[in-house]
Amino acid sequence: MLFVGLIVFAGRVAIANQAVGSAATEAARSASISRTQGQATDTARAAAAQALSNQKVDCLRVSVDVDTSGFGAPVGTPASIRATVTCMVNLSDLSVPGVPGTRTISASMSSPLDTYRER
């Protein structure tokens, strides 16, 4: 029974890793197509929350950090947006000895800004 519990634990952590990576990708992409820095941050947070919700990941706490410094680059200069999503996954429903009740998973992704668009 312990072995089955550990397999379930590993599967849930793997699914959460994939979901957080996907949320970071969505956040970075959404931010990179925004017109302003403020809008990019808001859009990235909403996209990450929606991606985690769609994949039914049970996060106790979600944090989305967006580096929008690329908006300050002069037109014609390559720039990118970086989004980092951190999720504290709830594993308390697994009653396996030695398994923590929560696990923090983090993923970062970047997406390029259009080099010649108005910033």
| pLDDT(119) > 80 | no
Give the helix ranges, DSSP H, for the chain: 2-32, 37-54
Confidence class of residue 97 from pLDDT cuts 50, 70 and 90? low
What is the spatial distance between Cα 21 and Cα 107, in angstroms, rounded to a whole number? 5
pLDDT category of residue 101 using cuts at 50, 70 and 90: confident
pLDDT reported for residue 118:
63
User: Per residue in 59-70, pLDDT tens?
Assistant: 899 999 999 999
Does residue 25 or residue 96 have the better pLDDT? 25
| Nearest Cα to Cα of residue 98 among 5, 4, 13, 12 | 5
List CB contacts of 84: < 8 A, sequence separation 6 or more.
24, 64, 65, 66, 67, 106, 107, 108
**pLDDT tens-place string over residues 68-91:** 999 888 888 899 999 999 999 887
Neighbours of 63 (CB within 10 A): 14
Sheet holding 102-112, edge to edge: 59-67, 80-90, 102-112
What is the rounded CA–CA span in Å between residue 47 and residue 50?
Answer: 5
Backbone angles phi, psi at 69, to 5 degrees: -65, -20
Kindly report, residue by residue over 2-43, the tens digit of the pLDDT.
Answer: 788 778 888 888 999 999 999 999 999 999 999 888 899 999
CB contact set of 117 (below 8 Å; sequence gap of 6+): 75
**What confidence category does residue 98 fall into, taking pLDDT thresholds of 50, 70 and 90?**
low
Q: 56 or 26: whose pLDDT is higher?
A: 26
